[in-house]
Amino acid sequence: MCKTITILGGGPAGASAALAAMELGCGVMLIEKSKFPRHKVCGEFFSPEIEPDLARIGAWQAFLSAAPARIRRMKLNFGAAEKTASLAEPAWGLSRSAFDALLLQRAIAAGAKISRETTSVPQIIASGRKVAATARGGRLFGFKAHFEGPPDDAVELYFFGSAYVGINAVENGFTNVCGLAPEELLRTFDFDFDRVLLESPALAERVKPLTRRFDWLSTGPLEFKQHLSDTTAYRAGDALSFVDPFTGSGLVAAVKTGSLAGAAAARSDPVPDYLAQCRQSLRKPFEVAGVFRKALKSRFAETLAPLIPSRILFALTRPR
Ligand SMILES: Cc1cc2nc3c(=O)[nH]c(=O)nc-3n(C[C@H](O)[C@H](O)[C@H](O)COP(=O)(O)OP(=O)(O)OC[C@H]3O[C@@H](n4cnc5c(N)ncnc54)[C@H](O)[C@@H]3O)c2cc1C
């Protein structure tokens, strides 16, 4: 066995790092403060690229066994304009309570030790995104709930103002509704997310036949940020780079960078070499999402996005 690697955070990035490090013969100590399974604010959309990344760490069959929903179409609504397209390859919908628990279970089964408290300085930081220090007023918050009702095979994104709400099926016939909105809009509705959904007439119509299964969860303030020059530890997942969630690429990036970090730590690769690999993989979705968010803020997206073919928009936001 090479050595024991300490990983801070047992979410998708941390559990993937653990599996990759143990594959190379290392022991792993995972520090995770939460008890799994637990819900998490997330659109729970997995782009097709998740398959090779999960297969690499031996978790693809477990993912399929959780019976994720298949997502075959993409629908973008900009108020006046709507675009629908088939996905070139089907995507997946699986709750984070199921996904995070199955990955962590695999890591434990492979020999990872779990602790609630930090016992030594972590070599891998996979503790998720930092809470933004943005001043009140310009802050963004995320929210999510599961609904019952007729499922659909599309991932739907409703853009209104600089807010958006994503809808897609997850396992067991449930539907995830997850949004991101600026503080000013949410304050107008006293953070009553049911009322926020009514702000877009098309979205209000879409959720009419659905019944919410649990109280809304919310998170924030959110900040889209990269820490690609921190060479003090191997950062992975959102702790390395948090990209605008409309891209639906955060989970693929978490599994990918987590696996890279686990392998790099096991081999004692220099952190800058590891970061160079990540930079290549993450640059495209981060840059495209940045441009799109600026367009959204200026309301220019309503004019621009309908002109870009949906397949191209989808491809542009995938990590490599
Ligand atoms: C509104 C919203 C919607 C999203 N929708 C999608 C989507 O549809 N598809 C997609 O691919 N991505 C989506 N994302 C992004 C996705 O949720 C993240 O990219 C993903 O969670 C990153 O995984 P991670 O393991 O890096 O971090 P996390 O999932 O945040 O896991 C970090 C873990 O570290 C633990 N932890 C943190 N600090 C400590 C500590 N000090 N001690 C011990 N444990 C600690 C936490 O308990 C947690 O379990 C969305 C994000 C948001 C905010």
- Closest C-alpha to 188, from 199, 178, 179, 177: 199
Nearest CA to ligand 1 atom 21: 251
What pLDDT, on the 0 to 100 scale, is given for residue 210? 98
In three-state secondary structure terms, 177 is: strand
Distance separating alpha carbons of residues 25 and 2, to the nearest angstrom: 6
Whether residue 10 has its Cβ less than 6 Å from ligand 1:
yes
| CA 42 to centroid of ligand 1, rounded, Å | 8
Nearest CA to ligand 1 atom 3: 42
What pLDDT, on the 0 to 100 scale, is given for residue 253? 95
Distance separating alpha carbons of residues 77 and 62, to the nearest angstrom: 34
Beta bridge partners of 180: 142, 164
What pLDDT, on the 0 to 100 scale, is given for residue 2? 77
Q: Return the amino acid letter for 9.
A: G
- Closest C-alpha to 158, from 192, 194, 200: 200
Preceding amide of 306 cis, omega within 30: no
| CA 251 to centroid of ligand 1, rounded, Å | 8
**Cβ-Cβ contacts under 8 Å for 26 (sequence gap 6 or more):** 1, 2, 3, 4, 5, 265, 266
10 Å Cβ neighbour count for 221? 17
Residue 4 backbone phi and psi in degrees, to 5: -105, 130
Domains located in the chain, CATH noted: 4-41+96-129+223-316 (3.50.50.60)
Q: Are 210 and 180 in contact (CB under 8 A)?
A: no
Whether residue 178 has its Cβ less than 6 Å from ligand 1:
yes
- pLDDT tens sequence for the chain (320 residues): 579 999 999 999 999 999 999 999 999 999 999 999 999 999 999 999 999 999 999 999 999 999 999 999 999 998 878 889 999 899 999 999 999 999 999 999 999 999 998 878 999 999 999 877 777 777 999 999 999 999 899 999 999 988 999 999 999 999 999 999 999 999 999 999 999 999 999 999 999 999 999 999 999 999 888 888 889 999 999 999 998 888 888 999 999 999 999 999 999 999 999 999 999 888 776 676 666 666 666 665 666 666 666 665 666 555 66
| CA 317 to centroid of ligand 1, rounded, Å | 18
Tell me the pTM: 0.93
Distance separating alpha carbons of residues 288 and 316, to the nearest angstrom: 7
Q: Are 5 and 26 in contact (CB under 8 A)?
A: yes
Q: Are 132 and 275 in contact (CB under 8 A)?
A: no
**Residue the block writes with tokens 């969860």:** 217
- Using most ligand atoms within 8 A of CB, pick from 127, 140, 178 the residue to mutate for ligand 1: 127
Radius of gyration (Cα) for the chain, nearest Å?
A: 19
| CA 248 to centroid of ligand 1, rounded, Å | 13
Q: Return the amino acid letter for 111.
A: G
What pLDDT, on the 0 to 100 scale, is given for residue 41? 98
10 Å Cβ neighbour count for 158? 26
Q: Are 8 and 118 in contact (CB under 8 A)?
A: yes
- Using most ligand atoms within 8 A of CB, pick from 6, 31, 33 the residue to mutate for ligand 1: 33
Which pair of tokens denotes residue 145? Answer: 């709930």
Distance separating alpha carbons of residues 226 and 205, to the nearest angstrom: 37
Q: Are 72 and 9 in contact (CB under 8 A)?
A: no
Whether residue 282 has its Cβ less than 6 Å from ligand 1:
no
